[in-house]
Structures are given as structure tokens and as C-alpha cells.
A = this chain, B = another copy of it.
């Protein structure tokens, strides 16, 4: 059996902007010379779909029934960090998530590991520089952590599996497209392999080789775009997304129609909105697609409801806020629930870009807007959902200036405040794809290949 060797090759450019490479030196010096541990630590971002993925055409290969498009969120606020270490002396694959050892035998983890080793094996066998390319046969230890609470209901599995795929690729020296590795863990994880704006093309092939993620525009493309995550107080989720989407495919006539007849045109339009930075149309389509996704959940039998009363209040707040800012023309409807037209003025000197919501498989809202609107919208949220206990921690992430609400806005929004409905807000923006961390202090596994004790 060959010896595991550090991968000195730079990270593959195809899977994002890698800034480092395999890190083996500290491991080697701390261990006896005959037990080198090769370790790599990477981070990966959360992504939020604006054209939603819901439903698989192949459960095993995780191939979707429609394409989807997402925005990669900045890792300063939300990220997964993963360290993968290989050593000839590890006797089995092991994994720790947020400090707790988990069952490495889970089918999705196994699918990722098998796929990355297949790619590693394939690469080495074709490379004359690596006469003994057997690192892919080494067992691996993996430790992964999120910098945000899993309970927040954010899409941790996408960041998690993207980070796993990216980190394993570096430790095993794989340079090919990682869409399939990440996708086998969690479909939407392939979109977290890139920064900026990313589409996951559904593909047509039965083997899924053309079901891949690609970047539509980099994170630098739309610097004014801002993202607010409104974390909603809620009990546990009743229906997991894996089971949920399977039931939807089996029982919802509307889902099939959406996938076949609605999404293809929406993908084209959304890519245009991004390319042209057309926020008006981007926001409207984002909301419509979120609503349609939740509509197909409700059309499932038994029905699935991820939105709760607070989610619906947020939806209503956004439409009122937009109406007050005059977004009643150019495709924005004038009638917003019970807000009568007399409250709605045309866009004037005080009008601001609109705000858009999207909801994944849970009650939390993700809000998109432009920087000039953020402060006023956050003030509106505070007004409608007065913070209960943690007023000082209500706003996290990027700083947001305090703003005063006009009496007009208060009159429209403040009819029915819901104290405590929103636990906190994370303010963030579009961000880059996965990163390799050079700092040895960032590693989650010690020189012995076991998780470091918590600091």
C-alpha cells in the first residue's frame, strides 16, 4: 500500500478562487516521521436560491426536475469550515460535525467519499508525475463546523457538503468539476461551490454528468446588493426537505407543471436580471418564485407548510413597504392587501429601491434589497416586530445605520405589531466561493487527526 502524500498542486481554478494549498507541515512536525498527516482546511458559503430547486428526477444521483439559480452569501457572516486529514495510519473514515462524532456510514456522506476517491483515482492513473498515486486509498478524518446555529434553519447542508467536496478535493488532489461530489451530498450544495450568482443547470443526461453548477456573475458584479436574513421564532420543522420534495414530486400536479412550463423561462429572465442589475425585475421574480415554490408545497399531499404566520406578516410588510415607495408601476401591483390606493404615492424624491423576500424550506425570510434601502427597511422591521429580549443583538453582521421612519410609513406598517416574532436579523451581502485557509490555527483537527478541544 502506498504512502499518503501531501498534495502540493494548487487548488483547481474551476471550483472557485482557491488561495492556498494542502497544509501538511505542522502535522508532519508534530507527529512521528512515519505517521505523516496531510490536512487541508477550507470554508464554503451558504447560498440562497432565487429560482428554487424542489424535486428530484433521480433520487440516487440527486438530479433535479428543474434548473435553479442562487446568490452566494458572504462568509464573513455565514460559513462552514471543514478540515480533512488523511493518513496511512488512520484505520477508518470518521467525521465530526460541530464537535460531535457522526455516523460516517450515512449514504450521502458515503456517496461523496466514493465519488471523490473515484475522481482522485482517475486523475492519478492518468498522471505520469505520480507513480504511486495511492493517497485516495488513505482513510480520512473530517471535522466540520458552522459559524451559525443549525437551529436557525438556514441551509447548512448546502454549505456543509460544498465545503466537504472542496476540502476533500484538495486533500486528495482532485482538480475536476466538483458539482457531482457536492450534489451527491445535497443537491443545492453544488451552487455553494462558486461565489456571486450561480445557476445549477438541471442537465438532460441520465448519468447526471451535465447536471452542473456554473457561475452566472461574480460577487463583484453587483456591489449594491444587500441581504438580510430575518430569523423567525418557530418550533421544529415538521417536514424535512428531502422527504418533502419526494412527496411533492409524487403528488403535486402543480409542481410538474412548474418544473416543465414555468421555470425554464424564469431561469432565462433571472439571469438577465442579474446581468443587467435590474433590481426591480430581480426582486419581483424572486418573490414570485418563492411563492410558487411554497404553493407547490401546499399542493403536495399531505400538504407541506413551511411559512408560518410571522412569515406571512413579513410578506405583507414587504409589499406594503414597496407600495409606499411607489413600486406600483412597471409591473408592481398597486393593490396590496388592505392598503388602499390613497396611501400609495407615485415614486417621488423620497422613493427608494424596493425590497424582495424569499423563503426556503422554513419560516425564515431572506430579504434582498439595495444598500440605500437597508436602513429604512430594518427600521420598518423593528417597528413591526419589536425585539423582545435581545434588543442589542437584534441586528447582527454588517453594520446598519439607525433610521427614522416617516409617520406615513408608520401609519401603514404599525397597525398590528408582533413583538418577538423575529428573533434577530443577520445583515450580509453577496460573497465569494469556497476558500482554502492557510492559517494552521484554523484547523479543526489536531496533529493526531482528532478534533481539537474547543478553545
Binary per-residue interface labels of chain A (270-301) against chain B in the complex, 1 for a CB within 8 Å, 0 otherwise: 00000000000000100110011011101111
18 A–B pairs (Cβ distance < 8 Å), ordered by A: A235-B416, A238-B337, A239-B338, A243-B335, A247-B335, A251-B288, A251-B333, A254-B262, A287-B303, A291-B298, A291-B299, A292-B299, A295-B296, A295-B299, A302-B333, A305-B312, A305-B315, A309-B309
> Are B247 and A333 in touch, CB under 8 angstroms?
yes
Q: Which of A299, A307, A312: most chain B Cβ within 10 A?
A: A299
Give the residue name and chain of the B residue nearest to A240 (CB): B338
Q: Does A343 interact with chain B (Cβ within 8 Å)?
A: no
> Are A301 and B316 in touch, CB under 8 angstroms?
no
Give the residue name and chain of the B residue nearest to A265 (CB): B253
Q: Does A148 interact with chain B (Cβ within 8 Å)?
A: no
Residues in B neighbouring A300, C-beta threshold 8 A: 291
| With known contacts A238-B316, A254-B254, A254-B257, A333–B291 Cβ distance under 8 A | no
Q: Does A398 interact with chain B (Cβ within 8 Å)?
A: no
Q: Does A110 interact with chain B (Cβ within 8 Å)?
A: no
In the complex, the count of this chain's copies comes to 2
Q: Which of A251, A254, A294, A309: most chain B Cβ within 10 A?
A: A254
Residues in B neighbouring A299, C-beta threshold 8 A: 254, 288, 291-292, 295
Residues in B neighbouring A243, C-beta threshold 8 A: 335
Q: Does A124 interact with chain B (Cβ within 8 Å)?
A: no
The 7 closest A-B pairs by CB, nearest first: A295-B295, A295-B299, A295-B298, A238-B337, A302-B319, A291-B303, A309-B309
The range of chain A's interface size is 35 or more
> Are A295 and B254 in touch, CB under 8 angstroms?
yes
For the complex formed, measure the closest distance between the CB of A302 and the CB atoms of chain B, giving whole angstroms: 5
Residues in B neighbouring A8, C-beta threshold 8 A: none
Residues in B neighbouring A336, C-beta threshold 8 A: 302
For the complex formed, measure the closest distance between the CB of A262 and the CB atoms of chain B, giving whole angstroms: 5
Q: In the complex, given contacts A239-B337, A251-B288, what are 5 additional A-B residue pairs having Cβ atoms less than 8 angstroms apart?
A: A236-B338, A238-B316, A288-B299, A291-B298, A302-B333
